[in-house]
Structure 1
Amino acid sequence: MTMDILSIATTFLFPLVLILFLVHRRLRAAPPLPLPPGPRGWPLLGALPLLSPLPHSALANLAKRYGPIMYLKLGTRGFAVASSPAVARAFLHTLDVQFADRPINNAARNVGYAGEDLVWADYGPRWKLLRRLSSVHLLGPGAVSQWSSARRSELNRMVQGILNLNRHGKPVEVHGMVMQGLANILGLAILSRRVFDSDGAESSEFKSMVLEVMKLSGLTNIADFIPSMKWLDVNGIERRLKTLHKKFDALMTRMLREHAETAGQREGKQDFVDHLLANIKSSKGAEMLSDVNIKGLIVDMFIAGTDTSSITIEWAFTELLKNPSKLKRAQLELDEVIGRDRMLEESDIPKLPYLQAICKEVLRKHATTPLNLPHISNQPCEIDGYYIPEGTRLLVNIYAIGRDPDVWENPLEFNPERFLSGNIAKIDVKGTDFELIPFGAGRRICAGKYLGMLFVQSILGTLIHAFDWKMPDGVEVDMEESAGLALQKANPITAFATPRLAPSAYH
């Protein structure tokens, strides 16, 4: 009996003791790294109550207390927040592969076709295919040059619309006018047709749909942070997102049907959808798109291509009307380079350093997507001596970086001149200078960064060259922001435009 007990001890207990001893020794020799600092938050809700009403601003204030890298729980989800150029570089450059995926939230699941689009798809063969087709046939420099006539014709329509408002003594609602023009430019490139009439009900509905998407995507949806509460739809966001998805899907289905009916009219001049449909006919497996991929990609292009650029242009107008000396300097440069006998051409932009500086300064101070789009880690990693668990969501606070006094002198001042001399003049928005990353950086940098900058520079340059602008009497320029995925103005800016070029320039 005694021998049996000793045998059992030898067989089972001694190895267990040895394992425990080795584990204890290993833990003592190499203690686990700590998580980054951050607020403790509340049970279940975590730090969610700290983020209202403007999450980017709230997180920027928290970073002043906890540092440029924070870790906090939002509901049951773990988030890392980067608030300095160095930390952003560490996440989006050094750890780029580990953070190449995006988490699918409820907005992406509904409007983004459950991650079957370019913006929300996992990093992999399908995403690479969507990215390549978008760059080659729509967003890259080569593709962009092929549909310059569409941009020119729609910009001329925009100018004529402003002239018409001037003749009738009416002001211009800048954001709506620019958004509609951008939608039609993209419609010509994507579907070979203008998609909205000047003042039609369809145009107004599209604008409201895009604004609703950007607003809902930036609101705190409890289901994104506490999935077990999704069925409650506490703040009604889920219901509104599903309604929006039905509207967008109906619009995309109709556009694709009408596009197919006019295939014979294009006579070999292919648009973006033609190239996408050709992929379906000629490919198979991972190299072939689905109808859902195409719908999701078109939604991406219309939402990202219209709202972000129009918001940037509206903020530029806001700053220039608040700083009239900057507007006058920009107009003087335009007059010296172009004169007053013709309109701006895209080929003029490289010769307009002050216009380029204005656009950089607007993107610095008013980052279009202030928290960038979220990333998610696919494995545990280490950064600056801190442990980042697998499944951590990453937010890069571009807004905080752009307003950091340790990075920018007088960051709350609108000062385009800072980009005209010294090392700051060399800073670009291509994703390599982490002081200014309005389009993100790394593998998931915005595919439309080149086109987005061209839109902002050419449209803003044209409108301030062709017209003088004045706020309505008694109306002050305000800088109030509105919560959302994009950094919208709370109060859309409306201004009167007066022609300043020779009459022949407008024909």
Structure 2
Amino acid sequence: MWNEGERNIKDDLLDELMIASIDNPSNAIEWAMGEMINEPTILKRAVDELDREVGRNRLVEERDLQKLNYIKACIKEAFRLHPFSPFNPPPVSMSNTTVAGYFIPKGSHVLLSRPGLGRNPNVWKDPMRFNPDRHLDADGRQVFLSDNELRLLSFSTGKRGCPGVVLGSTITTMMLARMVQGFTWEVPHNESGIKLVENHNDLSLAKPLLVVAKPRLPQYLYQKNLKRMKY
């Protein structure tokens, strides 16, 4: 039997896993696809990376993800510019402390603004521009979707960070990689571009993403995948 404290911990963990591993990635992917389709150069670079690192004769797999730095940079940029929720789940200060010059009394609930961090002009140059290159460096180091310096808030960080960060990062990267690898993407013929407008009630797209997808890989790869789904 669960006691009350254990039940609360279980509920919190389930909430974090659901938000971080499903809702957060799906929102980021929808925004990333819209931004990339509106910027054909960015989309082409992502396609070229997949063709170079994976090829067109098989579908991208989890073992490939560490090589897909540009794909991950696109996702991280979506997390920065288009967070899933306005604030983080509020932690409680266990003692009096000072962070970044601010005194935080014991027992305080600390709210961090996700848009405030990711769109801060004092931290990010041209913060409202979708620019994955800002997450890459000349040394080619691995891009991680979380940020320990809290310049953006994707899956949280630190000792009490989101327990779903690895799962959420894997799901998100695999989802975008498969979508970019498997199809060409275009705006509908009667549209000039994707209207990237936030919903009035939250930070999701005001209207669901509507685009045209066309297969770009050998047909047997799609048939093979459909057979797996049937079983």
TM-score normalised by length of structure 2? 0.81
Distance 1:354 1:427 in 2: 8
Which of 29, 33, 40 does residue 324 from structure 1 map onto? 40
CA distance in 1 between partners of 2:114 and 2:139 (Å): 20
Spell out the pairing of 1:258-277 with structure 2 (5 A cutoff). none
Gaps of 5+ in 1: 1-113, 122-126, 131-292
Q: 2:207 matched to which residue of 1?
A: 491
Identify the match of residue 450 of structure 1 among 166, 189, 213. 166
Q: Partner residue of 2:65?
A: 349
1:409 to 122, 125, 131: 125
Q: Which has the larger radius of gyration?
A: 1
Residue 369 (structure 1) aligned with residue 85 (structure 2): yes
CA-to-aligned-CA distance 1:18-41 (integer Å, 9 cap, x gap) = xxxxxxxxxxxxxxxxxxxxxxxx
The counterpart of 1:480, out of the listed 197, 202, 205, is 197
Q: Distance in 1 between matches of 2:102 and 2:181?
A: 51
The one-letter code matched in structure 2 to 1:481 is E
Is the helix fraction higher in 1 or 2?
Answer: 1
- What's the offset of the Cα at 1:370? 3.2
After superposing the two structures, state which structure 1 stretch, 374-383 or 311-320, moved more: 374-383
Q: Relative contact order, CA 8 A, sep 6+: which one is greater?
A: 2
Inter-CA distance 115–408: structure 2 relative to 1 (3 Å threshold): farther
Counting aligned pairs with the same residue, the percent is 35
Could you tell me whether the CA contact under 8 Å between 2:75 and 2:145 is conserved in 1?
A: no
Whether the 8 Å contact between 1:427 and 1:436 is mirrored in structure 2 is no
Shift of 1:389: 3.9
The 1:442/1:499 distance shift into structure 2, 3 A limit, reads same
* CA offsets 1:262-286 (integer angstroms, 9 cap, x no match): xxxxxxxxxxxxxxxxxxxxxxxxx
Equivalent position SS for 2:57: coil
Residue 307 of structure 1, CA deviation: 1.5
1:338 to 1:385, Cα distance in 2 relative to 1, 3 A:
closer
Shift of 1:419: 2.1
Residue 228 of structure 2: aligned partner: none
Taking the aligned partners of 2:105 and 2:6, their CA distance within structure 1 comes to 26
Cα offset for 1:357? 1.3
Inter-CA distance 115–312: structure 2 relative to 1 (3 Å threshold): farther
Asked whether the equivalents of residues 341 and 504 of structure 1 are also in contact (C-alpha less than 8 Å), the reply is no
Structure 2 stretches of 5 or more lacking a match?
A: 225-231
2-side partners of 1:333 and 1:384: how far apart? 39
Q: Return the alpha-carbon distance in structure 2 between the equivalents of residues 326 and 386 of structure 1.
A: 39
Q: Which amino acid is the alignment partner of residue 87 of structure 2? A: L
> What is the CA distance between 1:428 and its match in structure 2?
3.7
When normalised by structure 1's length, the TM-score is: 0.39
User: Are the counterparts in 2 of residues 418 and 425 from structure 1 also a CA contact under 8 Å?
Assistant: no
The separation in 2 between residues aligned to 1:317 and 1:352, in whole angstroms, is 16
Provide Cα deviations, 1:448-497, integer angstroms capped at 9, x if missing partner: 0111111111011001110011222333412222256x731121102121
Gap change, CA 1:315 and 1:389, over 3 Å in 2: same
